[in-house]
Structures are given as C-alpha cells and as structure tokens.
Amino acid sequence: MANTVIGSSIVIDGEISGDEDLVIQGTVKGKISLKESLYVEGSGVVEADIETQNVEIAGRVTGNIVASDKVELKQDCRVVGDIKAPRILIADGASFKGNVDMDQKER
Amino acid sequence: MANTDQTNIIGKGITIRGSLTGGGGLVIEGRVEGQIALKNHLTIESSGIVEADIRADELTINGTASGNIDASTKVSINQSAKVNGDIKATRVVIEDGAVFNGSIEMEVKLPDDI
C-alpha cells in the first residue's frame, strides 16, 4: 500500500492530519495538516485550510495554503486563497486568486 | 477515475477527524474519529483504529473499532480485532480470538405465528 488515496466517490468533512503522502480525488472540507506531500488531482475538490510540506494542485482548492517547501499549481487547477511557501510554481492555464507570500526574509 | 468500485485507502500515518461519506470500497490502516457512512465494503486493517459510528454495506474488522455499527449485509470481526459497540446487521461473524463488547441485533425475520 503506497499511500493514502481519498477516491472520487468519498466526501470527508472534518480534519485530516498525518505524516505520509495524501492523494485527494474526492471532496474534503475542513482542515488538512500533513508533514509530507499533498496531491489534489483533477477530480479533487478541497475546501480547507492546508498546512503541509509540499502540495501539488490539479483540481479545485478553496482555502489558505501554508507549505514549508513548495506549492505547485498545475494547468487547469482552480485555487482561491492565500498561499505561503518558500517556492511557488504556477503553470500556464492555472487559475488562481489570492495572495502569495514567499517569505524570503525567513530563509 | 470516476469509478465507484475503486478502493480508497487511509494509510497508517493518517488521522481523520470528522465525517467520511461516499461510495467505493474503503480500507483504513490509520485512524478515523467521527462518523463513517459508506455504500460499499469497509475494511479496518489490523493497524487501523476507528472511533466512529459506522454505516456500511459490509464491514470487515481486523483492527480496533469503537462505536455503533450498522451494516446492511455482513459484519466480520476477525481474530485480531477489538470491537466495542452495538452491531446491527443481517449477518454477523465473530472469529475465535476476537474481542467484542456490546450488543448484536440481527435482523431475523421471525415466522408470523410466534
């Protein structure tokens, strides 16, 4: 078993925390805090504040994102919220609304 | 990817607090607290800890579960399982070695003349 997959038919309302990779293809509302990587795939819908090391978003995310390493917004994703991370990548075709804070001072 | 027969996995390092609903099979190796409502098969692996009221079609428990269980077909409590709570299901199987505390209600159709 590689890692945790929240499939497209699953809806979670609440809080997810953990120290392994998480793949979201379904719907998550609430709060996500991880020590590893989060992948929101094309079918994934997240309405949550996210705190993680890495996050890759190809689906829809509404909420504030704090990443200790990297945030990657893929093509066709839709993200609304503030992002705080040392490295932020936004691909051509991604739609994003919110503030970006790369916080160079703290590094 | 919109396949409802897919199996979802909540891995060992993951904790979910809240409600979890949906179709598709689900395997829990981590921790879930709150409520689970599933249209298909739920498996709680031996590393899994569930503190939740569970509604599912079929339920297999190898780990630890506390909360009330309502299954539309079958509940299997296997050897390594520890279960606390009330169970309501058509069929309930408890293996030798399993620990269970609670009540069981099987929906048995009694003959009308009793």
Nearest CA in chain B to A24: B8
Put simply, the answer to whether B14 touches A10 (Cβ < 8 Å) is no
Rounded Cα–Cα distance for residues B64 and B45 (Å): 8
A12 in reach of chain B (CB within 8 A): yes
Angular region, B85: left φ>0, alpha ψ -120 to 50, beta rest: left
Q: Pick the residue with more confidence: B6 or B40?
A: B40
pLDDT, residue B7, reads 78
Q: Which of residues 15-34 of A touch B (CB under 8 A)?
A: 15-20, 22, 25-26, 30
Put simply, the answer to whether B24 touches A7 (Cβ < 8 Å) is yes
For residue B10, list chain A residues with Cβ-Cβ distance below 8 A: 4, 6
Domain ranges across chain A = 4-106
* Predicted-assembly ipTM surpassing the 0.90 threshold: no
Q: Collapsing DSSP states into helix, strand and coil, what is residue B1?
A: coil
| Interface residues from chain B to A (CB-CB < 8 Å) | 1-4, 6-24, 26-27, 29-30, 34, 39
Amino acid sitting at position B57: D
Write the pLDDT tens digit of every residue in B32-76: 999 999 999 999 999 999 999 999 999 999 999 999 999 999 999
Q: Using CB atoms, which residue from A9, A14, A36 is nearest to B4?
A: A9
Mean pLDDT across chain B? 89
Domain ranges across chain B = 7-100
Rounded Cα–Cα distance for residues B92 and B74 (Å): 6
Q: Pick the residue with more confidence: A106 or B102?
A: B102
Q: Which residues have C-beta within 8 Å of that of residue B64, sequence separation ≥ 6?
A: B44, B48, B49, B50, B81, B82, B83
Q: How confident is the model at residue B5 (pLDDT cuts 50, 70, 90)?
A: low
Q: Pick the residue with more confidence: A91 or A3?
A: A91
A41 in reach of chain B (CB within 8 A): yes
Q: State how beta strands A10-18 and B14-22 pair.
A: antiparallel
pLDDT, residue A59, reads 96
Q: Is the pLDDT of residue B2 over 70?
A: no
> pTM for this structure?
0.82
State how far residue A36 is from chain B, nearest Cα, in angstroms.
10
pLDDT, residue A66, reads 96
Return the percentage of chain A with pLDDT > 90, whole number. 89
